[in-house]
Amino acid sequence: MCYHRSKDGLRMIITIDGPSASGKSSLARALAQRYNLHHLATGLLYRAVGFVLSRAWKNENVEPRWQALTDDDYSMIKNIQYRVNGNKANILYKSEDISLFLAEEKIADFASQVSEDPKIRQLLLSVQRDVAKKQDVVADGRDCGSILFPDANIKLYITASIQARARRMFDDLDRWKDQSKNYDQIIVDLQERDERDMNRAVAPLVIPEGALVVDTTKIIKQQVFEHLFEYVDQHISQKK
C-alpha cells in the first residue's frame, strides 16, 4: 500500500477532516480496514487531555481553568501516550490505559475546549506525526490535512448539515441508552463546537488545499464508502 515517502520520513497518509458527527470516524475505520492502514483518531488525544485535566481538577467547575493552564497542567499532558494496537490504539496516561473513559460526551466537550490552546496542539503534534513515521495511516480530525499532514497523499473533507449531524449524535446516544441530552441540546452543542473549531486562532477547521469535499447529508453510509473507495483506488492506480 505504501507508495510514497516524503522528505520528512512520513509514509502513506490519508487525511479526513470535517465538523463533529459528519461521519469522519466511521469512514476512517472503513478505509483502515480496506487498505490495511492504522486509524489515527487525533481527537482521542484531545479527549485524553480533557479527561486527564478534568480528573486532576476533581471535576470541579473546569470552564475557567481551560483559560489559565499552569506548568503543572502541561507537565501532566506530556505523560499522555499513544500506543498502536493493530489498526486501533490505546491511550495511556503514565501506565494507566484511559481509552475506555474517552467516549463520554462530556469529555468530547472538554476536548473541543482544550484544542484551542496553542501549546497543547504543539505538544500533541509531534505525538501524532510520530505514529505516521512507523506505519501507513488514515487520520481523522479537524486539522489533519491542513496542519498535521499537509503533504498527505489523499485528503478528504466530510461534512453534513447540522440537523443531520445532530440526528446522528442523538441516535448514537439513544443506542447507548444515554438520555443526558435531547436533540435540541445537541444542536446547540454542535453550534458551539463548530464556532470554536472554525474560528480558533490556531489550526482552525478549514477545507484543506486539494481535498475532495463530500457532503453526507443525504447519502447513506455505504454509498459514501463505495464512492470514496473508488476515489482512493483511482488515486493509487495513478501513482503506480
Eight-state DSSP code of residue 211? P
* Domain CATH number, residue 41: 3.40.50.300
82-133: pLDDT as tens digits? 999 876 799 999 999 999 999 887 888 888 888 889 999 999 999 999 999 9
Kindly state whether residue 196 falls inside one of the protein's structural domains: no
What is the C-alpha separation between 62 and 104, in angstroms, rounded? 16
Kindly state whether residue 63 falls inside one of the protein's structural domains: yes
Kindly state whether residue 166 falls inside one of the protein's structural domains: no
Residue 173 has pLDDT above 90, yes or no: no
- Assess contact for 154 and 232: CB atoms under 8 A: yes
What is the C-alpha separation between 218 and 27, in angstroms, rounded? 16
Q: What is the pTM of this model?
A: 0.89
pLDDT for the residue numbered 3 = 42
- Assess contact for 113 and 46: CB atoms under 8 A: no
C-alpha cell, 97: 490505559
Kindly state whether residue 142 falls inside one of the protein's structural domains: yes
Reported as a pLDDT band with limits 50, 70 and 90, residue 6 is: very low
Residue 180 has pLDDT above 50, yes or no: yes
13-50: pLDDT as tens digits? 999 999 999 999 999 999 999 999 999 999 999 999 99
Average pLDDT over the chain, rounded to an integer: 88
- Report the domain count for the chain: 1
- Assess contact for 141 and 27: CB atoms under 8 A: no
Kindly state whether residue 67 falls inside one of the protein's structural domains: yes
- Assess contact for 205 and 143: CB atoms under 8 A: yes
Kindly state whether residue 132 falls inside one of the protein's structural domains: yes
Kindly state whether residue 238 falls inside one of the protein's structural domains: no
Kindly state whether residue 86 falls inside one of the protein's structural domains: yes
Domain that holds residue 121: 13-160+206-224
Reported as a pLDDT band with limits 50, 70 and 90, residue 64 is: low
pLDDT for the residue numbered 8 = 45
